[in-house]
Amino acid sequence: MASELIFRGHESQQTPDTYSPKPNKPWLSIIRPVRYILREQRLIFTLLGILIATLFFSFLPTHPGPTHPSGPTTTHLSTTSSFPSSPQRDFFADKFVNSGGKIPLGLKTKGLRIVVTGGAGFVGSHLVDRLMARGDSVIVVDNFFTGRKENVMHHFGNPRFEMIRHDVVEPLLLEVDQIYHLACPASPGSHYLLLESLILVYKTNVVGTLNMLGLAKRIGARFLLTSTSEVYGDPLQHPQVETYWGNVNPIGVRSCYDEGKRTAETLTMDYHRGAGVEVRIARIFNTYGPRMCIDDGRVVSNFVAQALRKEPLTVYGDGKQTRSFQYVSDLVEGLMRLMEGEHVGPFNLGNPGEFTMLELAQVVQETIDPNAKIEFRPNTEDDPHKRKPDITKAKDLLGWEPKVPLRKGLPLMVSDFRQRVFGDQKEDGATTA
């Protein structure tokens, strides 16, 4: 008998005509997760998670530091746009975050992007050396008015170093974390006799500073101005504290420098108060060291070059006017501490050790040529009688004070001058003392 397979499945199957879907219960899709969350203290954990995430994202630094020499840093933009920031934000930013270039020691993993205007000059080139040694990416902006390419040539070829020939009187767009604004011919050399040069000094201080402050505002960079002890003019207070407003001749032969720097300070504070730009102001007192211009009229370079050339040391007036002399490595340390610190300033950065011009001439004689003669000349107009910084503020707030005494610093400068005066350019000037 042939087997007979009989399919009976169709008996239990529903025909499409008889299909009736379950009623839709939309509230179930809400109730289910709620029930799930309420079970076994999951709600507490969820709330805790939200709280932690909120705290984390409100304090998270948007940008830990520069990564590329030309890209914008969001930290800067956010730091600036939120100015004045909440105390909580300030606390966190000050303690843990790169806030406008301030990197707490130990947390810094990558270098900053820094522009140094006037970086091919005497002070600027030593500052560049320190920043490069720290691992930062440095852009030097200089028009070589008084600076020299040779001062920074040893960094050529380093991918972290760039050099732009540019006059800061013209606007410039760069994206950096910090701006050290040094561009300005510092010395009362012969260029102070030409009207074009006088105007250039003034324009550099005023228009140049405006341009760099505008840049700092735009990109949220921290800005440091290198001002000068000349803002005190011929001081009636001795030593000079930062709260002293000075005694400056507004129509003197060097007023373009003194008044230019005073205006630069004013602009810096205006941008700070009015636009929230993070600024720092250093008032630099006489500084000396390798790479100073040889013939720019500054007293230390004058004496050293004259002694080396076997010329008489020219002392202006009776030689009893006093100055204090700071070795360049001390200044660079002070500038960097100021930039990285929390205080706007102004800060006097100088060596309080006070010397008369005659005493300085003696130290030069002892160091270079005991037989060097001294020649007296009539004093120059507006030459201050006394200059000595009170550095209490820098000591207290920056933990800074100069370390190199004149008798130790001068020989370090002499070897560099000897090479340049006698045309031997083989060695590079050392900063360290």
Ligand X SMILES: NC(=O)c1ccc[n+]([C@@H]2O[C@H](COP(=O)([O-])OP(=O)(O)OC[C@H]3O[C@@H](n4cnc5c(N)ncnc54)[C@H](O)[C@@H]3O)[C@@H](O)[C@H]2O)c1
Q: Which residues bind ligand X (CB under 6 A)?
A: 117-118, 120-124, 142-147, 167-169, 182-186, 204, 208, 226, 228, 284, 286-287, 293
Distance in angstroms (rounded) separating the CA atoms of residues 289 and 411: 9
* CA 29 to chain centroid: 59
The least distance separating ligand X from the CB of residue 321, rounded to whole angstroms, comes to: 16
Q: Which is nearer to ligand X, 94 or 295 (CB)?
A: 295
As measured in angstroms, the least distance from the Cβ of 80 to ligand X is 24
Q: Please state whether 97 falls in left (phi above 0), alpha (psi between -120 and 50) or beta.
A: beta
Smallest distance from ligand X to CB 364, Å: 17
Q: Where are the beta strands (DSSP E) in 350-390?
A: 354-356, 374-377
Edge-to-edge strand order for the sheet containing 161-165?
A: 161-165, 137-142, 113-117, 178-181, 222-228, 279-284, 347-349
83: which 2 tokens? 């100015």
Give the shortest CB-59-to-ligand X separation in angstroms: 38
Q: Which residues contact 352 (CB under 8 A, 6 or more apart)?
A: 239, 324, 388, 389, 390, 391, 402
Torsional sign, CA 231, 242, 177, 81: negative
Candidates 384, 87, 113, 145; CA nearest to 247 is 384
* Residue 257 annotated among the catalytic residues of the structure: yes
Among 180, 232, 257, 288, which one carries the catalytic annotation?
257
Q: What φ, ψ does residue 208 adopt, rounded to 5°?
A: -60, -45
Which amino acid, 50?
Answer: I
The answer to whether 126 and 289 have CB atoms below 8 angstroms apart is yes
**C-beta separation of 339 from 114 below 8 A:** no
Min separation Cβ 353 and ligand X, Å: 15
- Local structure of residue 275 (DSSP, 8 states): H
Q: Which is nearer to ligand X, 93 or 128 (CB)?
A: 128
CA distances to 56, 281, 291 from 168, in Å: 41, 18, 22
Nearest to ligand X of 75, 301 (CB atom): 301
Q: Nearest approach, Cβ of 74 to ligand X (angstroms)?
A: 29
In angstroms, rounded to a whole number, what is the distance separating the alpha carbons of residues 236 and 86? 41
Q: Output the smallest distance, CB 146 to ligand X, in A.
A: 3
Residue closer to ligand X by CB (options 256, 313) is 256
Task: Name the residues annotated as catalytic.
Answer: 257
